[in-house]
Amino acid sequence: MARLDYINRCKMILYGQGLGEKPSMRQVAADAAETIAANTVAFSMIAGEGAKIKPGHVLSSVGATTTTTAYVLYVLSVATDVVTALRTYRGSPDAGASADLLDGLVLEQQPLRTEHDINVMVDTVFSSLLWDSTYFIDNTTSIAPDPLYGQVALAANVEDLVGAWQIIAGENVTIPFNVDRNLHTTVSANAVMGTFDQWDNSTIFLTFIRKLAIGDETADNALVEMVATGASALLLGASVSDTVQERSKKDSQNRSRDVASNLWRDFLALRQAHGRERGLDHNDEITVMHSRR
């Protein structure tokens, strides 16, 4: 699924669908005629939009396909349809890094959460909150073995190997393996090394696991739902340290049922279900394969 699938699903969770529950949209002129000074940028909106924007408002770009174009602007002043705003607001990308970045953009006015914030939280879920409950299994990689020591540098995203094979006399033969991570870069450029008890110097075919990333499983709506739920929970203030802890049934029933905490519990349930439905049993797989050495 594309990045926008996750962003749009987060917005569906964060906002109601009734009148006034979503942020207003404003459009920048086709030629924004940006003027950059210090940490501000002045730019032109289409005719009549300036009257709807006030100092202190926050404007957030809509539909950014990368985190580097998720601009957030804090409005300092408005003169007719020319807005002067603080750029790089709250750590967002620099809308004044070069000319024409704002031309024709649609901006959300006073969003509950900016697209920059949503992007950051979606990336946080992928990088920190899925592994190793659920992960991606890659079975498309092959490597040339080392003829002397059987040690081969692996890609940086290899978390562990599920299996390794060679084709010997037309037969697929499983070979023992071991994986070492966090090695010195003089030992392995990516700090990941595989050791194989290979039969010969023919190609080694690998199945390995890595963290899930945006773009994996292009038709998996369940992944979008899981990630967007987790990101939305964090955006609304769920405390990871608080909501992950085990609680007694009585304590759980008595605690506040706020939206963020409910979303976080939904995320944990979806994460568990996502791994179960894919038949993932990481520890058992790796234990079996490593015991063959």
Cα separation, 157 vs 141, in Å, equals 12
* Phi, psi torsion values for 29, nearest 5 degrees: -60, 155
Question: Which residue type is seen at 68?
Answer: T
pLDDT band at 239 (very low <50, low <70, confident <90, very high): low
Q: Give the neighbor-by-neighbor strand order of the sheet with 177-181.
A: 151-153, 192-196, 177-181
Rounded mean pLDDT, 189-202: 95
DSSP code at position 170? T
pLDDT, mean of residues 100-124: 95
pLDDT band of 245, cuts 50, 70, 90: very low
Task: Return the pLDDT at 280.
Answer: 62
Mean pLDDT is lowest, of 166-170, 241-245, 258-262, for 241-245
Architecture of domain 24-111: Beta Barrel (2.40)
Compute the average pLDDT of residues 266-270. 94
For tokens 């037309």, the residue is 170
CA–CA separation, 106 vs 265, rounded Å? 34
Q: How high is the pLDDT of residue 235? A: 93
Q: Give me the torsion for CA of 169, 170, 176, 177, rounded to 10°.
A: 110
Per-residue model confidence (pLDDT) at position 256: 36
Alpha helices in the chain (DSSP H): 3-14, 115-124, 221-235, 240-243, 249-254, 259-277, 282-290
pTM recorded for the entire structure = 0.82
- What are the tens digits of pLDDT across the range 36-63? 999 999 999 999 999 999 999 999 999 9
Residue 44, CA distances (Å) to 27, 70, 71, 150, 229 in order: 9, 19, 16, 63, 36
Return the percentage of the chain with pLDDT > 90, whole number: 72
For residue 271, pLDDT over 80 is answered with yes
- Token readout for 25 is 């949209």
Determine contact, residues 243/249, Cβ cutoff 8 Å: no
More confident residue, 241 or 246: 241
Smallest CA-to-CA distance from 8 within 154, 224, 275, 170 is with 224
Q: Where are the domains of the chain?
A: 1-20+113-132+216-280, 24-111, 136-210
